[in-house]
Amino acid sequence: MPLALLALAVGAFGIGTTEFVMMGLLPDVADDLHVSLPTAGHLVSAYALGVVVGAPLLAAATARMPRRTVLIALMVLFVAGNALSAVAPGHHWLLAARFLSGLPHGAFFGVGAVVATGLVAPERKARSVSLMFLGLTVANIAGVPVATALGQHLGWRAAFLGVSVIGLAAVAALYLLVPHDRAHPSQAGLRGELAALRSLPVWLALATTVAGFGALFAAYSYIAPMLTDAAGYGEGSVTLLLALFGVGATAGNLLGGRLADHSTRGTLFGGLLAMTAVLALFPVLMTDRWSAAAGVTLLGAAAFVTGSPLQLMAMEKAAAAPSLASSANQAAFNLANAGGAWIGGLALAAGFGVTAPAVAGAGLAVLGIGVAGVAYAVDRGRTRRPARPARVVATGHPERAEALRRTG
C-alpha cells in the first residue's frame, strides 16, 4: 500500500479526534463560558451541521481542482477552525468556530476516498479506503482519550490547540506523500456535479448509510447509561470501555476492507446482519460486566465492517461525480448520527428501559438491510434490461441514413 494512504490516515485521525473530543469536554466548556450543559451541547450539533453543509458543497465547488490541492486546502481550513476554537472568547464565537471546523470533514473523506482508490489496483480499492478510515477509528482509541485528558488538565482550549498541531502534521504529510495530479476540466462544474445525485441508486446508497449507521448511533449515543445502570460499571470505567469500542471498530474496519474487495454487497449485508444481532442481544449482554464489554467491542466491529462497502457503493453509483457522492456519504453518516440519537432517545423516553435504544437500533439495522435489498433489486433490474436493438442503416443511402438517425 502506498505511503500516501498514511497521509490520509493522519488527516482522518485529526478529524476523528476533534469530532468526538467535545463530548468529553462539554462540562469544562460550559463552566468556563458560563453556559448551561444543554447550551454547550449545541457545539456538537454545530460541528455536525458544518459536515452536512460542507460535504457536498465543497466537493462540488472544488471538482475541477487537483485533488491533492483540495485535500491540503481542506486540512488548512480544518486547522483554522480548531485554532479559532482554542481562542474563541465566548460561546457564540466557539459555535461559529466549531461549524467552520466541520465544513472540511465530509469533503476530506470524500475526496480522500477517491484519491485512495486511485492509488491502488482495482482489487484493493476497499482496502485502501479502510486504511484511510483507520485514522478515524484509531482516534477513538488514542486521540480522543489523550485530547480529553489534555483538556481536563490544561484547560479545554489546549485540546483544540493539540488538534491543530495534528492538522499541521497532516498538511505536511499530504504535501510530501500524496502524488501530484492534474485538474479535472472534463467535470461539468457545480451544476454538473449536483446533477449526478439525481440517480436513484445513489440515493438508495445514501439511505442505506443513514439507516445502517443510524442503528449504531441509536445505541452508542446512550452507551454510558447502559454500562453504568444496566451492567453495573462505575463512571470511571466508561472511558476504557469506549476505547474497547474503538478497538472493535478498528478491527471491523480492516476486516471490512479486505472482505469488500472480494464482495462489496456481501460484506455490507453481512455487517448489517451482524449489527442487527448484536443490538438485539444488548438487553441480555448488558446484564453482566464481561458480556457488556464484549458487546461494546462487537458493536464497534459489526458497525465498521460496513464502512468501506458503503463508501464504495456511493462512489460506484455516481461514477460521473465520485468525489461529490463520496462526500455526500459522509454527510449521510452525520445525519445518521443525529437521527439515530433522536430515535434512541424516543425509545428511552418511552420508558422501555435503559437498553431500549439498542433494540431501536436493531430495528434501524433491519431497515438498512431492506434499503440495501431494494438497491440490489434496482441494480439487477437495470442489468437485465434488454438493450435497445440497433437499426441497420444502408451505407449506400446517406439521405435515408440521416433520416433514421434523426428519428432515433
pLDDT (0 to 100) of residue 172 = 95
Amino acid occupying residue 230: A
- Grid coordinates given for 22: 467535545
Owner of C-alpha cell 488514542: 142
Which class for 198: exposed (0-12), middle (13-18), buried (19 or more C-beta within 10 A)? exposed
Kindly list the domain boundaries of the chain, sorted by start residue.
1-180, 190-384
**What confidence tens digit (pLDDT) does each residue in 118-132 have?**
888 888 888 888 888
- End-to-end Cα distance, the chain: 48
pLDDT (0 to 100) of residue 385 = 58
Cα–Cα distance between 222 and 356 in angstroms, integer?
A: 10
Q: 190-384 has which CATH code?
A: 1.20.1250.20
The answer to whether 58 touches 107, Cβ cutoff 8 Å, is yes
Cα–Cα distance between 65 and 197 in angstroms, integer?
A: 20
pLDDT (0 to 100) of residue 98 = 92
49 or 367, which is more confident? 367
**What's the whole-number average pLDDT of the chain?**
84
pLDDT at 243 over 80: yes
Cα–Cα distance between 339 and 360 in angstroms, integer?
A: 12
Cα–Cα distance between 11 and 50 in angstroms, integer?
A: 17
Q: Which residues of 11-41 are buried (b: 16+ CB within 10 A; e: fewer)?
A: bbbbbbbbbbbbebbbebbbeebebeeeebb
Owner of C-alpha cell 440495501: 372
The radius of gyration of the chain's CA atoms, rounded to the nearest angstrom, is 23
pLDDT tier for residue 136 given thresholds of 50, 70 and 90: confident
How far CA 76 is from CA of 15, 94, 164, in Å, comes to 12, 18, 9
To which H or E segment does residue 326 belong? helix 322-349
**What confidence tens digit (pLDDT) does each residue in 286-322 have?**
999 999 999 999 999 999 999 888 888 887 777 666 7
What average pLDDT does range 237-258 have in this prediction? 87
What are residue 324's phi and psi, to 5 degrees? -65, -45
pLDDT at 198 over 80: no
pLDDT at 105 over 60: yes
* pTM for this entry: 0.78
Cα–Cα distance between 72 and 205 in angstroms, integer?
A: 28
Q: 1-180 has which CATH code?
A: 1.20.1250.20
Domain 1-180 and domain 190-384 have a common topology: yes
DSSP per-residue codes, 216-257 = HHHHHTTHHHIIIIIS---GGGHHHHHHHHHHHHHHHHHHHH
Cα–Cα distance between 258 and 276 in angstroms, integer?
A: 21
What average pLDDT does range 68-77 have in this prediction? 94
Q: Which residues of 240-276 are buried (b: 16+ CB within 10 A; e: fewer)?
A: ebbbbbbbbbbbbbbbbbebbbeebbebbbbbbebbb
308 or 63, which is more confident? 308
Instruction: Name the residue among 54, 326, 344 with its Cα closest to residue 209.
Output: 326
pLDDT at 84 over 90: yes
pLDDT at 72 over 90: yes
Instruction: Name the residue among 135, 37, 158, 51 with its Cα closest to residue 99.
Output: 51
To which H or E segment does residue 131 belong? helix 125-138
**What confidence tens digit (pLDDT) does each residue in 331-371 have?**
888 888 878 888 888 888 888 888 999 999 999 999 999 99
Cα–Cα distance between 295 and 352 in angstroms, integer?
A: 20
